[in-house]
Amino acid sequence: MPGRKAKPPRLWFREDAGRWVILDRSERKRRQIRTGCSRDDVDGAAKALETYIGRRHTTTIGATDPGVLDIADVLTAYEISKRPKDKNDERAWAQHDLLLIRLLDLNCFFGDKTVSKLKVQLCRDFVDWSTGTPNENNRQIGLKPRQGKVSDQTARRRLEDLRAAVNAYHAEHTLSVVPKITLPPKAEGRHRWLTRNEAARLLGAAIGYVWDNERNAWKRKEDGKLFRRERWIIRRRYPAARFCLIGVYSARREETIRRTQWLPTTTHPWMNLDAMVYQGKGALERSTKKRRPAAKIASRLRPHLVRWHKIDQTRSGELRAAGILQSGEQIRFVVNRMNDGQPLAGKIRSAWEGILQDAGLGEDVVRHSLRHTAATWLMQAGVDMWEAAGWLGMTVEQLEANCGHHHPDFQEEAAEAFRGRR
Q: Which letter does DSSP use for residue 262 in this model? A: S
Query: What does each of the 422 residues of the chain score in pLDDT, given as a tens digit?
Result: 344 555 667 788 888 888 888 887 765 556 788 888 888 888 888 888 877 766 666 788 899 999 999 999 999 999 999 998 888 877 788 888 889 989 989 998 998 899 999 999 999 999 999 999 999 998 888 888 787 889 999 999 999 999 999 999 999 999 999 999 999 998 876 788 999 999 999 999 999 999 999 999 999 999 999 999 999 999 999 999 999 999 999 999 999 999 999 999 999 999 999 999 999 998 888 877 788 999 999 999 999 999 999 999 999 999 999 999 999 899 999 999 999 999 988 888 889 999 999 999 999 999 999 999 999 999 999 999 999 999 999 999 989 888 888 878 777 777 777 766 55
Q: Are 52 and 32 in contact (CB under 8 A)?
A: no
For the chain, state the CA radius of gyration.
26
| Helices and strands counted in the chain (H then E) | 16, 8
Residues 83, 86: Cα–Cα separation, whole Å:
9
- CB-based burial, 26-44: b 16+ in 10 Å, e otherwise: beeeeeeeebebeeebbbe
Which domains does the chain show, CATH number per domain?
1-57 (no CATH), 59-187 (1.10.150), 196-369 (no CATH)
Continuous segment of H or E residues that includes residue 13: strand 10-14
Counting beta carbons within 10 angstroms of the beta carbon of residue 308, is it exposed (0 to 12), middle (13 to 18) or buried (19 or more)? buried
Residues 163, 182: Cα–Cα separation, whole Å:
9
**Which residues, including other chains, have CB under 8 Å from residue 133's CB and lie 6 or more apart?**
127
**Which residues, including other chains, have CB under 8 Å from residue 128's CB and lie 6 or more apart?**
134, 135, 138
Q: Residue 317: helix, strand or coil by DSSP?
A: helix
Q: Phi and psi at residue 218, in whole multiples of 5°? A: -70, 140
Closest CA to 343 of 264, 265, 285, 261: 261
Residues 234, 46: Cα–Cα separation, whole Å:
42
Residue type, position 179, single letter: P
Residue type, position 193, single letter: W
Q: Per the confidence metrics, is the pTM higher than 0.75?
A: no
Q: Across the strands, what pairs with 259?
A: none
